[in-house]
Amino acid sequence: MRRSGLHLNDSATARTAVAFADLPGWDAAEAEALLNGLARHLPPAVRERPHQARWLGLLADRLARPIRAPRAFVEETFVPLRIEAPGFLTGYYEPMIRASRVREGAFQTPLYRRPPDLVRVTPPRADLPGDGTFARRLADGRLVPYPDRGAIAAGALDGMGLELAFFADPVDAFFAQIQGSARLVFPDGSETRIGYHGKTGHPYTAIGRVMIDRGLLPDGGATMQTIRAALAAAPERIAEILGANHSYVFFRERPSMGPEAGPIAGGGVPLIPMRSLAVDRAHIGLGTPVFVETTLPRSGPHNGITIAEDTGSAIVGPARGDLFIGSGDAAGAIAGELKSAARLTLIVPRRALV
């Protein structure tokens, strides 16, 4: 079976063709969700983006026309390929955070736009931190490591005019970076969305693990909620703990696609709650439908179609997923607790397999 058309670069990863009847809960509604998700990736401006699944163009003309029997069409046109590697699912969400356009009162922690001297490096270089793909370009053209989180907190970017907004709580700013997006609510009631726009390139370190190692949390007890509670109880250690993650993410303002849609994802489309999945794009092309079987905290078993639409530095491996839960505190409570085994099944066109 040829897999080169699937944009699955790890051809050694075992995938087994299964029947749609083998997918728990598969029905007409899930077929419609699959087609609606694919349709959002078909305009040329999206379809031609790097890391999109190469086969999307094969179906563009057909999906542009009305489909009278969605379930029958999907079952005739696509085949499920189950990833045999053990899957693992986490969740993420769009925080809603109080912020200010100017530094005043309690709003003292800045979140920055992408600096003009931050550049993407191709091919990666071994003398740069992390995956070697981000660097600071000096005036003489040399590439050097970009300042890490600690250096930025100490003022490395002061005077450059890059402040996008100011937060009252540095932990809010940190979690906005972890999620890669946020909806900011300003004192006058206005709102704006911000989204990922580059990073320093330093390796990501999970502060939950750091807090366990330093005695602030019990082993196995790191969730977003417990992390926040522990830091609130030890404010004198916030800078130390946050600084243990040397990675720093930059943002830009993003357009709103309406209150029901989420922020713009790495795949160039707005995230849809419970239907958008962040994946390792080295293994799964963006735009690929993925049937997820897992267990959600508070609600139990969950099975359904998602679309690979986003990425994340902590999302690594052929069966690793990060499910977009939604916006606000309720979604954050679920996302913060979601750490579940999962089974992932790619849904790909039969034409792409020959």
Return mean pLDDT, the chain.
Answer: 89
Q: What percent of the chain has pLDDT over 90?
A: 72
pTM above 0.85, yes or no: no
- Whether residue 12 is predicted with pLDDT greater than 80 in this model: the reply is no
User: What pLDDT was estimated at residue 258?
Assistant: 62
Identify which of 222, 205, 211 has the alpha carbon closest to the alpha carbon of residue 150.
Answer: 205
pLDDT one-digit tens code per residue, 234-287: 999 999 999 999 999 999 998 766 666 678 877 778 899 999 999 999 899 999
User: What b/e readout covers 83-118, taking b as 16+ CB neighbours within 10 angstroms?
Assistant: bebebbbbbbbbbbbebbbeeeeebebbbbbbbeeb
Q: What does the DSSP assignment read for 289-312?
A: EEEEEEEETTTEEEEEEEEEEE--
**How confident is the model over 200-222, as a mean pLDDT?**
94
- Higher-confidence residue: 60 or 179? 179
Closest CA to 290 of 307, 272, 267: 307
User: Which amino acid, one-letter code, is at 181?
Assistant: S
Distance CA 251, CA 270 (A): 16
- 């100017």: which residue's tokens? 102
- Distance from the first to the final alpha carbon of the chain: 7
Query: Which domains are present in the chain?
Result: 4-91+259-353 (2.40.40.10), 95-254 (2.40.240.50)
Mean pLDDT of 326-340: 91
* Per-residue model confidence as pLDDT tens digits over 76-91: 999 999 999 999 999 9
CB atoms < 10 A from the CB of 341, how many?
12
Rounded average pLDDT over 58-85: 90
Lowest mean pLDDT among 34-43, 198-207, 212-221: 34-43
Query: How many angstroms separate the CA atoms of 268 and 283, rounded?
Result: 18
Mean pLDDT calculated for residue range 131-142? 96
Split at pLDDT 50, 70, 90, the class of 182 is very high
The beta strand positions in 55-180, using DSSP E, are: 78-83, 87-94, 96-100, 109-112, 118-120, 134-137, 143-144, 163-167
User: CA distances (Å), 2 to each of 12, 57, 82, in order?
Assistant: 12, 18, 16
pLDDT at 351: 80
Q: What pLDDT does residue 7 have?
A: 40
The percentage of the chain sitting over the pLDDT mark of 70, rounded to a whole number, equals: 92
Neighbours of 304 (CB within 10 A): 20
Q: Which letter, b or e, does each residue of 131-163 get, where b requires 16 or more Cβ atoms within 10 Å of its Cβ?
A: ebbbbbbeeeeeeebbbbbbbbbeebbeeeebe
Each residue's pLDDT tens digit, 183-208: 999 999 999 999 899 999 999 999 99
Q: How far is CA 150 from CA 155, 241, 244, 245, in A?
A: 9, 10, 8, 9
Q: What is the pLDDT of residue 256?
A: 66
Residue 206 contacts residue 245 (beta carbons within 8 Å): yes
> What is the Cβ-side half-sphere exposure of residue 125, based on CA atoms within 13 angstroms?
14
Mean pLDDT, residues 287-310 taken together: 95
> Is 74 within 8 Å of 34 (Cβ atoms)?
yes
Taking the C-alpha atoms of residue 134 and residue 201, their distance in angstroms, rounded to an integer, is 5
Taking a C-beta distance cutoff of 8 angstroms, is the pair 295, 302 a contact? yes
Distance separating alpha carbons of residues 61 and 58, to the nearest angstrom: 8
